[in-house]
């Protein structure tokens, strides 16, 4: 009788472990899938960034320079300063 109970307990433990293993396996597969999805999104964003960099470089080559707000303000200040200096010599 005790041997039969031991076998039942052992069988139950094995089934319980198998169930836990299956859940862990499914979770790992889900994480792998999510990881692949994120990799594809990152690749897509990197491609878009490279495209924008090339477009920006092309605009710079063509003389259409894109300035940030800070760069624009600095350029205005430099131009104003240079105009003042030029006017001093006139």
Is 67 strand, coil or helix?
Answer: coil
Question: Whole-prediction pTM value?
Answer: 0.52
Is 58 strand, coil or helix?
Answer: helix
Q: What is the pLDDT of residues 16-67, one digit of tens each?
A: 999 999 999 999 999 999 999 999 999 999 999 999 999 888 887 877 766 7
Work out how many domains the chain is built from and give that number: 1
pLDDT score for 4 = 74
Give the residue numbers spanning the domain of 70. 2-89
């Amino acid at each position: 009788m005790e041997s039969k109970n031991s076998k039942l307990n052992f069988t139950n433990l094995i089934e319980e472990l198998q169930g836990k293993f299956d859940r862990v396996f499914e979770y790992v597969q889900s994480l792998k899938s999510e990881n692949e999805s994120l990799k594809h999104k990152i690749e897509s964003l990197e491609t878009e960034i490279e495209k924008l960099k090339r477009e920006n470089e092309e605009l710079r080559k063509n003389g259409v320079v894109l300035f940030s707000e800070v760069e624009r303000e600095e350029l205005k200040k430099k131009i104003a300063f240079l105009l003042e200096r030029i006017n001093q010599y006139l």
